[in-house]
Structure 1
């Protein structure tokens, strides 16, 4: 049933899918008090008004309903902002580490880079396999396309990413995703400590890659997407720090800068401040106290 529905949705025009997503987002908002609380708390924590949080409700629904079209459907309208940054990296012979937060349509960013530059800069993206077998099969099929491959969130997957960067290829990941216990540090994100992966900084430092910030803006009325690219300019000296905590802080600051470009398309319902499984509440509080000293 579900695979058939997914394939049916993939044939619908993007404006229709985004209209369905608008309805789904507001239905989720209306039915879940926990969802509403998390949405408002995290947007307020970042210093944004309730209107920004409310604006993100429909965008979160669109993120779900657009997936069938992006994975299995026909092409959609795409625009570039900052394409020259990739051209420069290719000309330098550099591997490229693409970093994007849970902002806009992060699914489209790797697809577009692979579509435009895959023959010169193949891209490998880090992903967490879906729990449902039917969705996992569709996801793996859809994300394996010319110029684009995937790496699971395992040690073998990390080695695959390092190898790709050393071969001067591209790698994409979401550094604001909460990592497993032992693979992160508590670093500030919009003024509050969040368990932050150290992998993104380690990849950049290990392979000497060029780091680019990227995010996919969802255009209004289902008109398509505009992919934005920005140079990564770390704070505190202009270089990425080899210290895990300082490197995580620098990358979190870069993710904040992207979110500020279009806060209504950030996934404020994502539990960014949760402690990963294996870290007790007391251990988290102690870590935050130590880092704040």
Structure 2
């Protein structure tokens, strides 16, 4: 009962945010993030651990500034679920500018996997794409069943086919064969199964091989994309890059390393916007100590 009431209140709040000007919503998120950062928490410790591992040459003051900025971005991204999940297609399209190195119409004439990364703007980019083009999206179900149902419904309201990871391979292959591109992200630690350790900023990171395996099984090209938050509350920019050449290879580890190297390049460009609150190094190679 309490969970249901919480979902109703949260849904009402997100709907209210969808009615406010985007700049107001963004500033509310930044403000809440600044307040929450002052409170010691597990997530704040995770952010600092990740930054220390990935940017050992940074001074403590530099990492502190980066952590503060990141916390603001993360909480802002949660608040901005309001206009993303409950705004209309026109409003969402106005918020996101698109720069694509490929002909997006062609994405429906050949099997295409759009591989994204967990920058704070990923939700906005995926939502905007779905207002213009048919697409399927792999997602990880949330622990709260009611909230998961609401998120799945709102994310798919423009026609996106939502595919849970537990059922991903069979359904994703069917979608690809039917001429619909698949969006997924494989830059989080989901455990040792179907994963390999590859360096992420020089630190061994447990990395899924799903992109390589799905591309090979579906004879699909792999196209990276990144959504970034633009300065001065101007919204977002969705950048769709050229397809990865000679991908997949015959070695899933090599493929995972290539994708991770591409991700590193983008993180260095907008470091405050990557999802440092995630325990990226939760699983460790045999013999190496835990870091969290």
> Which consecutive residues of structure 1, in runs of 5 or more, have no partner in the other structure?
276-283
- Deviation of 1:2 (Å): 2.9
> In terms of mean alpha carbon deviation, does 214-223 or 17-26 score higher?
214-223
Matched ranges for 1:19-34 at <5 A: 19-34=27-42
Q: Structure 2 CA distance, aligned partners of 1:254 and 1:166?
A: 27
Q: Is the 8 A contact 1:16 1:222 kept in 2?
A: no
> In terms of mean alpha carbon deviation, does 190-199 or 160-169 score higher?
160-169
Match for residue 136 of structure 1 among 135, 145, 148: 148
TM-score (norm 2): 0.84
> In terms of mean alpha carbon deviation, does 27-36 or 223-232 score higher?
27-36
- Deviation of 1:175 (Å): 1.0
1:191-241 deviation per Cα after TM superposition (whole angstroms, max 9, x unaligned): 11111111111111211212111111112343221111112446xxx5432
Partner SS, residue 114 of structure 1: helix
Corresponding residue for 1:38? 46
Q: Is the 8 A contact 2:18 2:84 kept in 1?
A: yes
1:260 and 2:268 are equivalent in the alignment: yes
Corresponding residue for 2:4? none
> In terms of mean alpha carbon deviation, does 259-268 or 196-205 score higher?
259-268
Kindly tell me the number of residue pairs found equivalent between the two proteins.
271
Q: How has the CA–CA distance of structure 1 residues 89 and 241 changed in structure 2, closer, same or farther, with 3 Å as cutoff?
A: same
Corresponding residue for 1:213? 224
TM-score (norm 1): 0.83
1:69 and 2:83 are equivalent in the alignment: yes
> In terms of mean alpha carbon deviation, does 36-45 or 249-258 score higher?
36-45
1:99 and 2:115 are equivalent in the alignment: yes
Corresponding residue for 2:182? 171
Q: How has the CA–CA distance of structure 1 residues 141 and 199 changed in structure 2, closer, same or farther, with 3 Å as cutoff?
A: same
Moved over 6 A (4+): none
Partner SS, residue 35 of structure 2: helix
Corresponding residue for 1:185? 196
- Deviation of 1:101 (Å): 1.2
> Which consecutive residues of structure 2, in runs of 5 or more, have no partner in the other structure?
1-8
Partner SS, residue 241 of structure 2: strand
Corresponding residue for 1:278? none
Matched ranges for 1:88-127 at <5 A: 88-90=106-108, 93-116=109-132, 118=133, 122-127=134-139
